[in-house]
Structure formats: structure tokens, C-alpha cells
Amino acid sequence: MSMSYGDVVRWLWVAWLAYWIWHAWGNKKTVFKGGRQGLVVGILLLWLALDVSGHAGVRWHERVIPETPAWQMIGVILVAAGLGFSVVARRCLGTNWSGQPTLKEGHELITSGPYRYVRHPIYTGLLAAIVGTALVHGELLYFAIVAFAVVGLHFKAKTEEGLMRQQFPEAYPDYARRTKALIPWVL
């Protein structure tokens, strides 16, 4: 029995999630938390948009990318590279990492590893993996999820940047001037 491209993508995401959960413990003590309102609002907006548009006749499971080995292989490569990049970035953060915008006790500004190329490499990797997943599945629904992920991660990044500017008032603005947010040398 051979695995489909979709199966490969599914297992890559499962392995990534297992890694993420396993390494979620043992981080520095949180001294300030940003809100989770953005996550809740994002999930509600995604649900509402999908529900309303579904009733308006949008066919979410309609294929918009041809189901060819080339597109699917590109998708698998993007998923593997994106998730791998996010893991490397997570490892560089070490015990400073948190799933939501926070400041940790003894928080450090990390500018090495993938952080020397982009300020939010975890988001860069996740967006690449989400785009790759959309390419493999090829359905309109997955591209809608890409759009919502872009918007959600943009707002989360802005919240994190505000905290970093507050915590590192001299170092962070300089870092932000010389390092793009998500795509090296572009954005």
C-alpha cells in the first residue's frame, strides 16, 4: 500500500505537532501575556465566512489547482521545508518560546539562526507549510485557510512586535530596520 501526497503531508503535520507539544514545557516563566482575543476572533471569523459563503453557493471542495504530481510534489516540499524551518526557529528561541505573545522572565532578543533573515521565522515556515498543504489538496477551502492564516499571523506578529519594542526599546527597532518580517529581503 503506497502513501498519497496527502498522506505524506498529514504525517509531516502530525510529526511537527508532536514535536511542538513535546517541547512546549520547561520554558521560562511568563511575566506578561498578550491577549488571546485575536485567536478567538480569527476562528470565529473563519467559521462565519465559511458558513455564510457556503450558504451563498461557494463550493469549498472545488479543485482550483490541477491534481498533478508536479503540483503535489511542490506542495510536499513546501510543507517539509516550512515545518522544518519553523522547528529550527523554535529551537533557536529555546526557553523564550510561547504559543501566544508574551514576555518571559529574563527574556532575550534572539537575532541568530533563522532570526537573522526574518523576524518571525516560525510564521514564515508555517505559512510555507500551509501553502504547500493547499497545493497538495488543491481545493478552494485550503486557499481560504491560507488567506486567514496570513491575516491572523500578521496581527499576532504586530502584537509580538509591540511587546519586543517595549522590552527592547533600543535593540528591537534597530533589528526591525535591518530584518524583514516574513520573507527575507522582501517583506
112, 55 contact by CB (below 8 A): no
Give Cβ neighbours of residue 40 (< 8 Å, ≥ 6 apart): none
Q: Taking the model in full, what pTM does it have?
A: 0.86
Q: What percent of the chain has pLDDT over 70?
A: 86
Give Cβ neighbours of residue 75 (< 8 Å, ≥ 6 apart): 5, 9, 131, 132, 133, 134, 135, 136, 137
Report the pLDDT value the prediction gives residue 110, as an integer from 0 to 100. Answer: 94
| Residue linked to cell 526557553 | 95
- As given in the structure block, the three cell numbers for residue 47 are 467559521
Give residue 137's pLDDT band: very low, low, confident or very high (50, 70, 90). very high
Q: Does residue 34 or residue 159 have the better pLDDT? A: 159
Query: Which residues pair with residue 103 across a beta bridge?
Result: 32
Angle at 67 between CA 65 and CA 72, to 5 degrees: 90
Lowest average pLDDT, out of 61-70, 87-96, 99-108, 141-150, goes to 99-108
Report CA-CA distances (Å) from 95 to 24, 25, 44: 9, 9, 31
Q: How many CB atoms neighbour CB 183 within 10 A?
A: 12
What the chain holds in terms of domains, given with CATH numbers, is 5-178 (1.20.120.1630)
> Which amino acid, residue 78?
L
